[in-house]
Amino acid sequence: MRIFSGIQPTGAKHLGNYAGGFRQYVATQDLAAREGGEAFFCIVDLHSVSVEYDPADLRERTFDLLALLVATGLDPERSTIFVQSHVTAHAEANWLLATVTSFGELRRMTQFKDKAEAQEFVSAALFTYPVLQAGDILLYQTDLVPVGVDQRQHIELTRDIAERFNARYGETFTIPRGVYPETGARIQDLQEPERKMSTTGGTEQGTVYLLDPPDAIRRKLKTAVTDSGREIVHREDKPGISNLIEIMTVATGESIPEVEARFAGQGYGAFKEQVAEAVIALLEPIQARFREIRSDPGELRRLLSVGAEKARAASAPTIEAMYERMGFVRPS
């Protein structure tokens, strides 16, 4: 069994990324170990440059993200953690797969539409982003892709691209399946609970960053938008409280009914305080590990070169098969 997921190094990582990403990476790393499989986690720096960014910032954030992946529980001995641009097969697969992806498919991607609206300069890279993502996944003959539900449309497109390539050139790719968490698959912005918590599109006060100090977390949760009424229940007409309940499940591992039962009859104010304390308890040990790991750049560089080597070896047979089946003359 092969697991693959990617995460962008730009921007400060938030609780939504933890719920749909980091937390699931650790769980699937364990699953891969139990099943005798392999897990690959990729810092997708090529994706990050599809929107405006600062090169110096990208460099620092790449190391930050590596440290955070390890601090949240990934083990570089058991999983392959690597940087996308260190494995050139990703850029090559992007071009080859673009030939079996239609303009119409890419135009329908809601992430492109949302992000394009927010950009002054809409790059061609932002438009073709899902093709690069499909290549990331398919190069590793991936079975499972742990992600948040915001990525569902891209995963479906990846499956379509893989099926089309297989039909046209012969069986080449495993058809991957998205893995979405039962709760916390889409954490919403605390200030605007109808929008997802996001690096580029959210509000500062409504976004809990994984490296936020406890006071900031308390302040953000305290001012979280709630709904009318008093009941602490997970219901469609209560997006604010439902979001806080989901955050509580992510922080403590409880189910939604367990959180509802524990806080039945209590007011919103007390509940928000308890959610803040649970998030702080979750993040404090992660932050301490992060600081320790991040302070050793030599070790981080070593981890990256080990990861790149493993990822190159794992992806090489697939990119070679793609070239062969598409009729390219290969160097002897």
* Candidate segments 71-79, 91-99, 128-136, 196-204, binder of ligand AQP by CB under 6 A: 196-204
Under rule CB under 6 A, residue 76 binds ligand AQP: no
Instruction: Please name the residue that has the structure tokens 């209590």.
Output: 266
d(CA 244, CA 54): 33
Indicate left, alpha or beta for 170 from its phi (over 0: left) and psi (-120 to 50: alpha): left
Nearest to 11 by CA among 70, 58, 43, 49: 58
Q: Which of 196, 220, 294, 310: binder of ligand AQP (CB under 6 A)?
A: 196
Q: Which of 126, 187, 232, 308: binder of ligand AQP (CB under 6 A)?
A: 187
The distance of closest approach from Cβ of residue 126 to ligand AQP in the complex, given in angstroms and rounded to an integer, is: 10
Please, which of residues 8-67 interact with ligand AQP by CB under 6 A?
8, 11, 16-17, 19-21
Residue 99 corresponds to which tokens in the numbers above?
């030939």
Choose between 100 and 176: whose C-beta lies nearer to ligand AQP: 176
Q: Which of 72, 79, 94, 198: binder of ligand AQP (CB under 6 A)?
A: 198
The distance of closest approach from Cβ of residue 25 to ligand AQP in the complex, given in angstroms and rounded to an integer, is: 9
Residue 292 corresponds to which tokens in the numbers above?
């320790």
Contacts of 270 (CB under 8 A, 6+ apart): 263
CB 46: neighbour CB atoms within 10 A?
22
Is the distance from CB of 9 to CB of 45 less than 8 angstroms? Answer: yes
Choose between 77 and 204: whose C-beta lies nearer to ligand AQP: 204
Q: Which of 201, 205, 211, 254: binder of ligand AQP (CB under 6 A)?
A: 201
Choose between 197 and 280: whose C-beta lies nearer to ligand AQP: 197
Choose between 146 and 165: whose C-beta lies nearer to ligand AQP: 146
Choose between 114 and 231: whose C-beta lies nearer to ligand AQP: 114
Instruction: Please name the residue that has the structure tokens 């109808």.
Output: 194
d(CA 244, CA 226): 9
Under rule CB under 6 A, residue 199 binds ligand AQP: yes
d(CA 28, CA 34): 10
d(CA 112, CA 118): 10
Choose between 123 and 172: whose C-beta lies nearer to ligand AQP: 123
Please, which of residues 143-162 interact with ligand AQP by CB under 6 A?
147-148, 150-151
Position 236, amino acid? E
Write the DSSP assignment of 287-323 as a string of letters: HHHHHHHHT-HHHHHHHHHHHHHHHHHHHHHHHHHHH
Choose between 87 and 322: whose C-beta lies nearer to ligand AQP: 87
Q: Which of 197, 241, 244, 276: binder of ligand AQP (CB under 6 A)?
A: 197
- What residue ranges bind ligand AQP (CB under 6 A)? 7-8, 11, 16-17, 19-21, 147-148, 150-151, 185-187, 196-201
